[in-house]
Structure formats: C-alpha cells, structure tokens
C-alpha cells in the first residue's frame, strides 16, 4: 500500500510541475498528517539547488560527511554520517526512485541506529520527495516531503528525531545557498 501511495504521489507531483490540471485522485496522495514537510526559499538557481542534492561532493558541503550518489532512477542515494562505518547511521543501499532533472528527486531513506528496527527493514518504509521550483533569476523554492511514517509511539519518536535532523540540515542548506558561496566552488 505504501509503495502504491508513493507512486501516486510521484505522479501527482509530476502533473503539478507540468502545470497540468489537478486530478481528483491526487487529493488522497498529496498530504498525510504524519509527513515531514519543509518549503525553503533559496537565493540560488534551480540548477545550483538541484546540484546540491545530486552531486556527492556538494551534498558533503551541507548534509553528510560522505556521499555516494548516482543521479538516475535506481541509482544510489547513499549518505554516510560516519565514513568509518558505512553500515550504521547511513542510507546505505537507498536508491533514487524518481528523477526529473531540475524538477523532481525522490529517494528511499533509512533511519539512525536507535530506530533501525523500524526504518531499516525491507522494503524501506520511508522515502523523501524533493521538488524544485524557479521563483525568478537565482531564486528557488524547494519543496521537501519525507513520508511513510507509522503510527506507534516508537514511530512518533523516530519521526521527531528525523524532523529535528532535517531542520538542522536545512539550516545548513539555507546558509550555504543564501551566502551565494556556491558559485565559487
């Protein structure tokens, strides 16, 4: 069921960015109250914002210590917060599930060690969807959604942990993007 809902969400996102008329079936897929969502306004181009998500070295500037990203559908989306231990606190084995250059990126997600029993089981229960929207020259609106959260107390704790991690990561991303330091690297 979760995989079907995710596929429907991707389709609806693609329809929305293609300026197609909204589809009634998209209303069910668009939002779950458990989703973690962020909308960021960045002072860089869509291309630069996209590269911050799809270029391993650029991900290492704001999100992780080490990255292995193969930017294509079914390509790796592996992030390692401890480069000496790729098995724990990483997204080892995660794949890109949707890839429309400069528009949509979706990928599987794994959780940290304290929530491995929930988040690191096959099939991986959570995933992230990022969409990129130009808002003028060197202005991007980034829409982020992390979905697939269960309902139990442990799931709530995992979700809270992940939301705080994303808040810190996005503060780093905004700082990097809004300093316009990307053009120098």
Domain residue limits, the chain: 2-16+46-184
Average pLDDT, the chain: 87
State pTM to two decimals: 0.84
108-154 pLDDT, tens digit per residue, is 999 999 999 999 999 999 999 999 999 999 999 999 999 999 999 99
Cα 125 from Cα 101, distance rounded (Å): 25
May I ask the CATH class of domain 2-16+46-184? Answer: alpha beta
């Amino acid at each position: 069921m979760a995989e079907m809902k995710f596929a429907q969400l991707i389709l609806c996102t693609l329809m929305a960015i293609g300026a197609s008329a909204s589809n009634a079936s998209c209303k069910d897929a668009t939002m779950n109250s458990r989703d973690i969502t962020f909308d960021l306004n960045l002072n860089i181009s869509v291309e630069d914002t996209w590269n911050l998500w799809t270029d391993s070295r650029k991900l290492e500037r704001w999100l992780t210590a080490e990255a292995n990203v193969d930017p294509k559908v079914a390509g790796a989306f592996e992030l390692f917060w401890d480069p000496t231990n790729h098995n724990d606190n990483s997204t080892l084995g995660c794949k890109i599930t949707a890839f429309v250059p400069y528009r949509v990126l979706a990928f599987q997600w794994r959780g940290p060690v304290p929530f491995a029993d929930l988040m690191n089981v096959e099939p991986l229960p959570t995933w992230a969807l990022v969409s990129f929207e130009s808002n003028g020259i060197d202005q991007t609106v980034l829409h982020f959604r992390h979905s697939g959260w269960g309902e139990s107390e442990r799931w709530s704790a995992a979700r809270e942990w992940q939301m705080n991690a994303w808040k810190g990561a996005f503060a780093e991303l905004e700082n990097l993007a809004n300093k316009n330091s990307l053009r120098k690297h």
